[in-house]
Structure 1
């Protein structure tokens, strides 16, 4: 007795949105990296009507809801909380981080959930576009980095919006961050499709990403690629034991970050690092030491969301470390909630590894790359950085779906 496989549900609209999203990667990544935030919001808006019909898994969104709720509660004592009278002004509303987090969770979450239901055919198209887009971004980032951002400056002058050379280099360097996340899904697709010369293509993309980051002085993407590469290799060769070890590795920084920094200060280890560290890292050490010391004042509830902005020159905008910023602003409660979310993601990596080591290695490397960059670079609430996390999740979903067998 034989049974026929049910035909796969077609997803032409979701496929078109996914292709549009991937096609925009080099344009947004090079010209306006902060534009990833509205791009992912638009993606979520476009696919929201499909959620009711597809009924995708929404658990990740519900896992993040307690963190959002605690961030909103912290407005009660945050020195950075906007006054209600000021919320009528556009600028004040734009600075209302907790409000933006709610919108991001809705729109970015919708984008990840809906595009996770792509058909295999649609995923293959989106995956092909993603590889071309990532390769194009890697090439222009490395080329313009080597040229000291001359192309970027020329484009800004042509648009009657000139930019200083040093700021232009910073803008070009930001293209390396999405590349550090997208390399692993692209590698998974190329390997699954057995593209001729795939090893050379993957190596070229990695080298171009590292070159672009090096020429523009961005250390974090290089560190992310190295850390992600080690984890990818471990999961690919050994499998579940390495994936399981990732769970405590991911969770520990969110639990012990300020304690480790305070111990380093008191033991003299930070002072020893100050002698060796270049200026950018020396500044980070000062910020981490100050933030960890201030965390002691309110270890349970924190100073309140966005409080990092209120310490003047001691903390320029944010702490350059996600775990320490969460401890400072949302206390041990907020840090534990964020740590639980990322530990849950690591737990999902174990499941993926059990199904296919290649999928598990891809997901593990992407997760570690994201946490590595977040651990030494950006503020935890930056819209474009959260959007890149959503994009990385979508890219991994596209790679897994497009690499799966028809059964």
Structure 2
């Protein structure tokens, strides 16, 4: 008994630093989510850098990292043919690596990977504290986002005006909507923490949090988070009620989305299905359909190797910066090999979700809901290489791990 107690205390002491990093990360989430969402990349990089020394004592294998490492390596090789190659002479200047997405991918893989690997080794006590802070901070961000959405972003405008950088109301509303993206990922681990707590009315609190995030997304005009909440919620409910069969269905579905995305778009064009959609969707989605059709046609020109990393930026008005669809962007830039690595990565993740579901359906539902929400937003909104969005993916993984440990300790 004494030896066991000593070992437990030693374990707790060893993870206090990791627990502190997790708490710091959660505290920063509402601040960055509302005021500077792109700085999530800096936050996760800092956490990964501070946690990295522990990797020398840890040999925990993370198999999905191999798929990401191969994807990053292929992106680096594609610099030899991409039309978006920056001037190599820029590498001599400090900070010029910002222009080289392929190099940044390796840095992000190392730093974000270190954050995920090390914070996944927190003790249950550290995880409980981090989960409580996460819950409070997510609720705060949801409340502020929802309130400012009701007010027409007047709070955000006032803050920017006070800082000497005023914004127009429509642009301010777009900025406020950015806070809903971390929320649609954190909702599921927050719901798991609430479900494992002894709070009275915890189901009502979960519903209120969901409603605030949904209202904030709707009021600020963020379509993708609304879709992510709906589809993520359906998957969450399916895993809760049915269990492993839902996750088993997700594995081929998600893999197929990455493998067959251009073929599906080309079929939609030839069959007239895309033309039918054009007549139904609003202008922003109509523009997306045009981008996706153009990208699918360009993929046919270099289906195996792709056009090269960041090539999406070289097609002018036809593709403004990126394709607004992760599978199509990976196909366009990194070809079939890149798509295969992305499919393998998410299949690996889903097999992990399957093992969580086998142990506890609530944990599996949480992970599946967060993953589907991330994939939905990636499929409609941001560039696949955007540092802050990749950082939010790492944050979601850490949050799910924190919630799973918290619920396990409660059991």
Normalising by structure 2, report the TM-score: 0.96
Q: Deviations over 1:346-370 (max 9, x none)?
A: 1111111111111111011111110
Residue 310 of structure 1 corresponds to: 314
Structure 2 CA distance for aligned equivalents of residues 370 and 34 of structure 1: 16
Alpha-carbon offset, residue 90 of structure 1: 5.5
Indicate if the aligned counterparts of 2:63 and 2:348 stay in contact, CA closer than 8 A.
no
Alpha-carbon offset, residue 214 of structure 1: 0.7
Distance 1:55 1:406, change over 3 A: farther
Structure 1 CA distance for aligned equivalents of residues 382 and 305 of structure 2: 22
Segments of 5+ residues of structure 2 without an aligned counterpart are none
Residue 112 of structure 1 corresponds to: 116
**1:347 aligned to 334, 343, 351, which one?**
351
Question: Secondary structure of the equivalent of 1:390?
Answer: helix
Alpha-carbon offset, residue 61 of structure 1: 2.2
Pairing 1:166–2:167 present: no
Question: Secondary structure of the equivalent of 1:404?
Answer: helix
Residue 220 of structure 2 corresponds to: 216
Alignment root-mean-square deviation, CA:
1.7
Structure 1 CA distance for aligned equivalents of residues 307 and 171 of structure 2: 32
- After superposing on structure 2, the runs of 4+ consecutive aligned residues of structure 1 that deviate more than 6 Å are none
Residue 231 of structure 1 corresponds to: 235
Pairing 1:175–2:176 present: no
Pairing 1:396–2:400 present: yes
**2:81 aligned to 74, 77, 80, which one?**
77
**1:41 aligned to 41, 45, 56, which one?**
45
Indicate if the aligned counterparts of 2:177 and 2:222 stay in contact, CA closer than 8 A.
yes
Question: Secondary structure of the equivalent of 2:222?
Answer: coil
Structure 2 CA distance for aligned equivalents of residues 122 and 80 of structure 1: 45
Q: Deviations over 1:56-97 (max 9, x none)?
A: 333332231111111101111000011212333467531211
Structure 2 CA distance for aligned equivalents of residues 339 and 189 of structure 1: 30
Pairing 1:356–2:368 present: no
Structure 2 CA distance for aligned equivalents of residues 55 and 13 of structure 1: 19
Q: Deviations over 1:245-280 (max 9, x none)?
A: 110111011111001101111111111111111010
Indicate if the aligned counterparts of 1:56 and 1:116 stay in contact, CA closer than 8 A.
no
Alpha-carbon offset, residue 402 of structure 1: 1.1
Alpha-carbon offset, residue 200 of structure 1: 1.4
Question: Secondary structure of the equivalent of 1:276?
Answer: coil
Pairing 1:386–2:387 present: no
Indicate if the aligned counterparts of 2:67 and 2:342 stay in contact, CA closer than 8 A.
no
Question: Secondary structure of the equivalent of 1:7?
Answer: helix
Residue 305 of structure 2 corresponds to: 301
Question: Secondary structure of the equivalent of 1:36?
Answer: helix
Q: Which moved more, 1:57-66 or 1:227-236?
A: 57-66
Indicate if the aligned counterparts of 2:255 and 2:344 stay in contact, CA closer than 8 A.
yes
Structure 2 CA distance for aligned equivalents of residues 55 and 122 of structure 1: 21
Indicate if the aligned counterparts of 1:54 and 1:117 stay in contact, CA closer than 8 A.
no
Segments of 5+ residues of structure 1 without an aligned counterpart are none
Q: Deviations over 1:130-173 (max 9, x none)?
A: 00000000000011111111100100111111122222111100
Structure 2 CA distance for aligned equivalents of residues 87 and 79 of structure 1: 18
Distance 1:66 1:394, change over 3 A: same
Question: Secondary structure of the equivalent of 2:8?
Answer: coil
Residues 282-301 of structure 1: pairs in structure 2 closer than 5 A: 282-301=286-305
Structure 2 CA distance for aligned equivalents of residues 182 and 86 of structure 1: 38
